[in-house]
Amino acid sequence: MFESAELGHTIDKRTYDKDVPPLRVALLDAQMELSKLAKFPVIILVGGVDGAGRGETVNLLNEWMDPRFLQTHGMGDPSDEELDRPMMWRFWRELPPKGRAGIFLGSWYTWPIINRVQGRIKTADLDQSLERAKRLEKMLTDEGALILKFWMHLSKDKQEKRLKLLEKDPKTRWRVTKRDWEHFNMYDKFFAVSESVIRHTSTAEAPWTIVEGYDANYRSLTVGKVILDAIRKRLDDADTKKTEVSAPPPLPSIDQLNILKTLDLSQKIDKKDYQAELEKYQGKLALLTRSAKFKNITVIAMFEGNDAAGKGGAIRRITGALDARYYNIIPVAAPTEEERAQPYLWRFWRHIPRRGRVTIFDRSWYGRVLVERVENFCTEADWMRAYSEINDFEAQLVRHNIVVVKFWLSISKDEQLKRFKEREAIGFKHFKITAEDWRNREKWDEYEQAVSDMVDRTSTTTAPWTLVEANDKNFARIKILKTLCEQVETMLKKKGIVIKKMRPPVKA
């Protein structure tokens, strides 16, 4: 795998001086075009062996390229805010928008590799990490991102030679740290692990480029040319967006029976019982969310449902039990300009709360497989792949001790009509009813099919859907509060939820 990167590639000064100026022109031109079209982002990961010139290459790229459209992110030690969220959050928050490039010095491979080298995780854990990384990259490329992964390689001899050279020169001595020599002593182990990582994660969408790092001219020119060619190629066929569907279609509805139709919407609760239950579960939720252990977990409650199903009222029954300082409601509306320049899930990732907090989404990332599907706001390929992207997303949340509670509030078509009319009649509710609501109602069956497919494909053991019979608002509110309490309680009882704040290594 590394054979070609140990051949001793060099580029002489004359060739370098001749090749660099046109390369720079072409890179700048490509960047200008990229920025003007703003069709896709460029994500550049730089990893590799210590002393192989990762930092120098990145500095040089900053010199060659237009810094207005390029951001470099040194993914060093994560902050407490980052440690309080799933590992990928720190990458999501730094993703370049469409039209820009982002260089990550240190990537989602850094931590898994070093942890494996140092024996903190097993091969099976490493494999799982790689699987997740691949799925992330697949999603990013499906969203249009161009991902370039560079691995700066040095043979063992060359690494030793280079570290010594750097140490000898007073001007570069500071670059060599004790950690570099520690890593050098583990070269063989590091070699074996990274070889395996590269092999497993060189996918069609995002292959690794292994670059021999010893000769600066060769290294720089190679990286520059690979970046240029990749951007150029994507710019030239930017119009040929993939639209083919790669997943099999959801179960066809041939008998009009679906999971929503099995709900007993006539269930209700009488007023006295409601008051008693409300107090009981609000009190319980209040205590649970104020317990000492709650600081180690996070709650994300998410509400979808028919229009007028009572999401707002149910949410307020939850927030009534919570400390206003520690919860947040995110009403999901049309994405902003900054959000539209990012992959679909970015606008939800940005609202993932810290530990000890509750975030309630009023509508959610399921918009893609509901309204966007039914209204054709995205292509079939987009919503078809969304199911597994969403499952991956939620799995990451749950892995980080986040309670993910998903409610679908279901009302009958008749009940909806009644409520629409009521809303039109009552003053302070009339803002809630718009022409759009009436239009959506006409597509009742299509929405029902979409909901049914959604539940089939995204109700997982770790993040199950709770279907809520909501014709009786009080019944729905109690079921929601009860479910939420149960799921929070289960998580609080889980062993080992006190996450060790593992600091990832600084380099890799």
Cβ closer to a second copy: 253 or 336?
336
Binding mask 153-192 for a second copy (x = CB under 8 A): -----------------xx--x------------------
Q: Which stretch binds a second copy (CB under 8 A): 140-148, 204-212, 242-250, 334-342?
A: 334-342
DSSP 320-382: TTS-GGGEEEEE--SPPHHHHTS-TTHHHHTTPPPTT-EEEEES-GGGGGTHHHHTTSS-HHH
Cβ closer to a second copy: 122 or 290?
290
Among 428, 461, 493, 500, contact with a second copy (rule: CB under 8 A): 428
Q: Does 32 bind a second copy (CB under 8 A)?
A: yes
Q: Does 431 bind a second copy (CB under 8 A)?
A: yes
500: tokens are 């060790």
Closest separation in Å from C-beta 409 to a second copy: 16
Closest separation in Å from C-beta 312 to a second copy: 7
Distance CA 398, CA 491 (A): 10
Q: Which stretch binds a second copy (CB under 8 A): 234-242, 253-261, 281-289, 480-488?
A: 281-289
Among 28, 216, 398, 455, contact with a second copy (rule: CB under 8 A): 28
Q: Does 123 bind a second copy (CB under 8 A)?
A: no
The footprint of a second copy on residues 335-394 (CB under 8 A) is: 336-338, 354, 362
Question: Tokens 């300009």 map to which residue?
Answer: 337
Q: Is 206 exposed, middle or buried (0-12, 13-18, 19+ CB in 10 A)?
A: buried
Cβ closer to a second copy: 76 or 144?
76
Among 131, 323, 414, 445, contact with a second copy (rule: CB under 8 A): 323
169: tokens are 């020169």
Question: Tokens 């009319």 map to which residue?
Answer: 421
Q: Does 29 bind a second copy (CB under 8 A)?
A: yes
Radius of gyration of the chain (CA): 27
Hey, which bits of 155-265 come out as E strands?
Answer: 208-212
Cβ closer to a second copy: 365 or 383?
365
3-state helix, strand, coil split of the chain in percent (to 5) is 55, 10, 35
Closest separation in Å from C-beta 182 to a second copy: 18
Hey, which bits of 145-297 come out as E strands?
Answer: 146-153, 208-212
Distance CA 329, CA 425 (A): 27
The footprint of a second copy on residues 220-239 (CB under 8 A) is: none
Name the DSSP letter for residue 74. Answer: E
Q: Does 329 bind a second copy (CB under 8 A)?
A: yes
The footprint of a second copy on residues 459-488 (CB under 8 A) is: none
Distance CA 162, CA 386 (A): 46
Q: Does 244 bind a second copy (CB under 8 A)?
A: no
Q: Does 290 bind a second copy (CB under 8 A)?
A: yes
Distance CA 418, CA 441 (A): 12
Closest separation in Å from C-beta 220 to a second copy: 14
Q: Which stretch binds a second copy (CB under 8 A): 17-25, 143-151, 456-464, 468-476?
A: 17-25
Among 4, 15, 328, 462, contact with a second copy (rule: CB under 8 A): 328
The footprint of a second copy on residues 47-86 (CB under 8 A) is: 55, 58-59, 62-63, 66-69, 71-76, 79-81, 84
| Residue 19: φ, ψ to 5° | -80, -30
Closest separation in Å from C-beta 79 to a second copy: 5
Q: CA-based angle 157:194:213, to the nearest 5?
A: 45
Q: Does 445 bind a second copy (CB under 8 A)?
A: no
- Rounded to whole angstroms, the maximal C-alpha distance in the chain is 89
Cβ neighbours, 10 Å, residue 311: 23
The alpha carbon of residue 216 and the mean position of all alpha carbons in its chain are separated, in whole angstroms, by 35
Closest separation in Å from C-beta 286 to a second copy: 6
Q: Which of 248, 245, 269, 499 is nearest to 379 (CA)?
A: 245
Among 86, 99, 106, 343, contact with a second copy (rule: CB under 8 A): 106
Number of amino acids touching a second copy (CB under 8 A):
60
Closest separation in Å from C-beta 264 to a second copy: 29
Distance CA 485, CA 399 (A): 19
Cβ closer to a second copy: 170 or 249?
170
Q: Which of 95, 104, 128, 105 is nearest to 197 (CA)?
A: 128
Q: Which of 387, 389, 315, 294 is nearest to 349 (CA)?
A: 389
Rounded to the nearest 10 degrees, what angle do helices 123-142 and 187-201 cross at?
A: 40
Cβ closer to a second copy: 129 or 359?
359
Q: Does 283 bind a second copy (CB under 8 A)?
A: yes
Binding site for a second copy (CB under 8 A): 21-22, 24-25, 28-29, 32, 55, 58-59, 62-63, 66-69, 71-76, 79-81, 84, 103, 105-106, 170-171, 174, 279, 283, 286-287, 290, 312, 315-316, 319-320, 323-329, 331, 333, 336-338, 354, 362, 427-428, 431, 506
